[in-house]
Structure 1
Amino acid sequence: MKNRLLKWGTFLAIAVIGVISLARVSMPPNKSDVKQVAPKKALVKKSQPTYRSYRDPATLRKPYDWRRSSEVRAYPKIKRIENDLTIRVSLKGNRVYILRNNERIYTMLASGGLFKKGKSLTPLGTFKIQGGRGDAFYNPNLNEGANNWTSWDEQNVYLFHSVPTKNNGKYNLTQARKLGKEPASHGCIRLSVADSLWLKDNIPTGTKVIIKNE
């Protein structure tokens, strides 16, 4: 009889322990025992418009056309001697802005220098339009040329010019289609054919040129 009672007692003890263990497993964890993990911040990749100093005007030509003026309206009238002009370049935004008294008067599609290791091949800083201008050039080292060039560098190394031409003088269509969409040059600032011609013929020597990433 004692053995039977001992067996039943042992059985009941095991059952009670099992019920208690199951209850602990079912209970929600204490907040103090749970390690709080901060949610990871989503990486935000900036878009081209984010890098631009100004919103594109309603008059910007759509679709883009590397042969024609960037805007569908007439170019602004520029005096032969005008000291209140500034050319503002946004390398990551792929835009060139013509400013008068720090107010935008025209927007141009552009492609500046390619970015290598996070740095553009186009130098940043403040420059001036130089006296060097021309109808066309060809660089045999790059096997590339362009039309309607205007220098903003004393050595005539860095220029505003049209989308690039091949060694036969014809426009490089693959490169031309990048205008206004992505950096693509070896350091110069590419413009549409019409914009580069207008800039060469109208922007006075000495005009300030400000080049920034944004």
Structure 2
Amino acid sequence: MKKSLLKPLTFCFVILICVISLARISMPQTQEKASRPTKKETIVKKTAASFRPYQDPSDLRQPYNWCKSSERKPYPKIKSLENDITIRVSLKGNRVYILRNNQRIYTMLASGGVFKNGKSLTPTGTFHIQDNRGESFYNPNLNEGANNWTSWDKKDVYLFHSVPTKDNGKYNLKEAKKLGKQSGSHGCIRLSVPDSAWIMNNIRTGTKVIIKNN
């Protein structure tokens, strides 16, 4: 009797061990396949240069200098009644372009409004240079000012102006170093000191201003 039961019990025991072993082997493999990505994801990080509509000119100052003109060449001469000038702003590219008949004639380093939730504090669209402009201003609510300002907004909220100044009138060096590299303003377009002065003194009222992210 004992001998007759031994063979079936041994056979069942072997089968049970095989089933348990197969279960242990198959479970990790299933989890590994489920967690393994089917395709390799390639992350391409875009730089500011990839958003610029124009390649930087060879005479753009290196390193960037907020105290000097952006290009080493002289500023373009603008006639008093010239109406074929357009200012093109690239917010993510940190550049301002002076166009004549849609052809770039000068490139300026710039810093627009900071991006929050993917949107810049600088509005995008088509605007026009307004009558209002001046040598300096100070906003106590923002504890910040600037020099050489030119309005491109009907309510004079948004301006072209120099890198920001502090309450004592001195330039904010920390913010000035962002020029041409990253956004930093509350919505205005910051420029180097000479560039902002040139726009204030040479760009006529009514000149079209086109502002885009790229």
- TM normalised by structure 1 equals 0.84
Please tell me the residue identity of whatever aligns with 1:72: R
2:77 paired residue number: 77
Deviation at 1:42, TM superposition (A): 1.5
5+ residue gaps, structure 1: 1-33
* CA drift at 1:156: 0.7
What's the counterpart of residue 29 of structure 2?
none
Q: Percent identity?
A: 70
C-alpha separation between the residues in 2 aligned to 1:142 and 1:127?
24
Whole-Å separation in 2 of the counterparts to 1:37 and 1:96: 43
Aligned-pair Cα RMSD in Å: 3.0
Return the alpha-carbon distance in structure 1 between the equivalents of residues 82 and 124 of structure 2.
Answer: 24
Aligned to 2:106, the other structure's residue is in SS state: strand
Tell me the TM-score normalized by structure 2: 0.84
The answer to whether 1:120 aligns with 2:131 is no
| Structure with max Cα Rg | 1
Deviation at 1:38, TM superposition (A): 2.6
Aligned AA (2:51): Y
* TM alignment of 1:1-214, pairs within 5 A: 38-214=38-214
SS in 1 for 2:57: coil
Regions of 4+ moved over 6 Å: none
Deviation at 1:39, TM superposition (A): 1.5
More deviation, 160-169/39-48: 39-48
**Count of residue correspondences:** 210
Q: Secondary structure of the residue that 1:206 maps to in structure 2?
A: coil
Question: Residue in 1 aligned with 2:3?
Answer: none
How many angstroms apart in 2 are the aligned matches of 1:40 and 1:79? 56
Q: CA deviation at 1:40?
A: 2.8
**Paired amino acid for 1:78:** I
Deviation of residue 37 (structure 1)? 5.1
